[in-house]
Structure 1
Amino acid sequence: MDHHALSGRPSSPTATPLHDLAAWLETITPVHTVGALAAEVTGISLSTQRIQSGDVYAALPGARAHGADFAGTALAAGAVAVLTDPAGAELLPAGTAAIVVDQPRHVLGKVAARIYGEPAQAMQMIGVTGTQGKTTTTRLLEDGLEAVGITGAVIGTVGTRVAGTDIKTSLTTPEAPDLHGLFALMRERGVSACAMEVSSHALVLGRVDGVVFDVATFLNLGRDHLDFHTDVDDYFAAKASLFTPGRARRGLTNLDDEFGRLLLERATIPMQTFSIRGPADWQAVDIELAGDGTSFTVLGPDGLRFPARVPVPGAFNVSNTLAAIASAAIAGLDAGLVATGIGQGPGVPGRLEQVDAGQDFVLVVDYAHKPDAVEAVIATLRPLTDGRVIVVLGAGGDRDPGKRPIMGAIAARLADVLIVTDDNPRTEDPAAIRAAVLAGTGDGSAEVVEVGDRRAAIIEAVRRAAPGDVVLVAGKGHETGQEIHGEVHPFDDRIVAREAVAGLAAR
Structure 2
Amino acid sequence: MLLNDLTLPDGIRVLGTLDRTVNGVSLDSRTVGPGFLYAALPGANVHGASFAAPLVAQGLRAVLTDEAGLAIVREAAEAEGISLADVTFLVIEEPRAHLGGIAAQVYGTDPVAPSLLGITGTNGKTTTTYLVDGLLRALGRTTGVIGTVATLIAGERLPSARTTPEAPELHSLLARMRARGVDDCAMEVSSHALHQHRVDGVFFDVVGFTNLTQDHLDYHPTMRDYFEAKALLFTPRFARTGAIVLADDWARELAAEAPIPVVTISREESDRPDWHVTGESGSDFVLVGPAGERIVARSPLPGDFNVMNTALALVLLVLHGVAPEDLAPVAASFDVAVPGRMEVVHPEAPRVVVDYSHTSDALEKVLHGLRESSPLVVVFGAGGDRDPLKRPLMGAAAARHADVIIVTDDNPRSEDPATIRAAVLLGVQAEIAAGNARVRSTAVHEIGDRAAAIAAGVEAAGASGTLLVAGKGHETGQTVGNIVHPFDDREQTRAAIAHVLSR
TM-score above 0.5: yes
What are the Cα deviations for residues 259-288 of structure 1, in whole angstroms up to 9, with x where unaligned?
111112221011111112224222221111
Aligned to 1:133: 124
Aligned to 1:34: 15
What are the Cα deviations for residues 121-152 of structure 1, in whole angstroms up to 9, with x where unaligned?
42221111101100000011111111111111
What are the Cα deviations for residues 298-348 of structure 1, in whole angstroms up to 9, with x where unaligned?
212432212111121111101111111111111112445556268421331
Aligned to 1:309: 298
CA contact (8 A) 1:52 1:78 kept: no
Aligned to 1:450: 446
CA contact (8 A) 1:461 1:471 kept: yes
Residue 87 of structure 1: how far off its partner (Å): 3.0
1:472 is matched by which residue type in structure 2? Answer: L
Aligned to 1:19: 4
What are the Cα deviations for residues 369-404 of structure 1, in whole angstroms up to 9, with x where unaligned?
110011000100012x2x211111111111111111
Q: What 5-or-longer segments of structure 1 have no aligned partner?
A: 1-15
Question: Which residue of 251, 262, 266 corresponds with 2:257?
Answer: 266
Change (3 A) 1:336 1:351: farther
Give the whole-Å Cα distance in 1 for the aligned partners of 2:315 and 2:362.
23
Aligned to 1:401: 388
What are the Cα deviations for residues 191-232 of structure 1, in whole angstroms up to 9, with x where unaligned?
111111111111111111111211121111000001111111
CA RMSD of superposed structures (Å): 1.7
Aligned to 1:363: 352
Give the whole-Å Cα distance in 2 for the aligned partners of 1:210 and 1:364.
39
Question: Which residue of 296, 305, 326 corresponds with 2:285?
Answer: 296
Q: Does structure 1 residue 473 correspond to structure 2 residue 469?
A: yes
CA contact (8 A) 1:48 1:73 kept: no
Change (3 A) 1:448 1:337: farther
Aligned to 2:29: 48
Matches within 5 A, 1:221-370: 221-278=212-269, 279-289=272-282, 294-335=283-324, 337-338=326-327, 340=330, 343-356=333-346, 359-370=348-359
Q: How many residues align?
A: 481
Give the whole-Å Cα distance in 2 for the aligned partners of 1:318 and 1:336.
20
Change (3 A) 1:124 1:342: farther
Give the whole-Å Cα distance in 1 for the aligned partners of 2:222 and 2:325.
40
CA contact (8 A) 2:213 2:361 kept: yes
Aligned to 1:112: 103
Residue 62 of structure 1: how far off its partner (Å): 2.8
CA contact (8 A) 1:144 1:342 kept: no
Q: Report SS of the residue matched to 2:371.
A: helix
Q: Report SS of the residue matched to 2:4.
A: helix
Identity %: 49
Aligned to 2:165: 174
Q: Report SS of the residue matched to 2:168.
A: helix
Give the whole-Å Cα distance in 2 for the aligned partners of 1:460 and 1:142.
37
Give the whole-Å Cα distance in 2 for the aligned partners of 1:276 and 1:432.
40
Quick check: 294-303 or 262-271, which moved more? Answer: 294-303
Change (3 A) 1:414 1:123: same
Matches within 5 A, 1:361-440: 361-383=350-372, 385=373, 387-440=374-427
Q: TM-score, normalised by structure 2?
A: 0.92
CA contact (8 A) 2:265 2:275 kept: yes
CA contact (8 A) 1:129 1:239 kept: yes
Q: TM-score, normalised by structure 1?
A: 0.91
Give the whole-Å Cα distance in 2 for the aligned partners of 1:146 and 1:60.
38
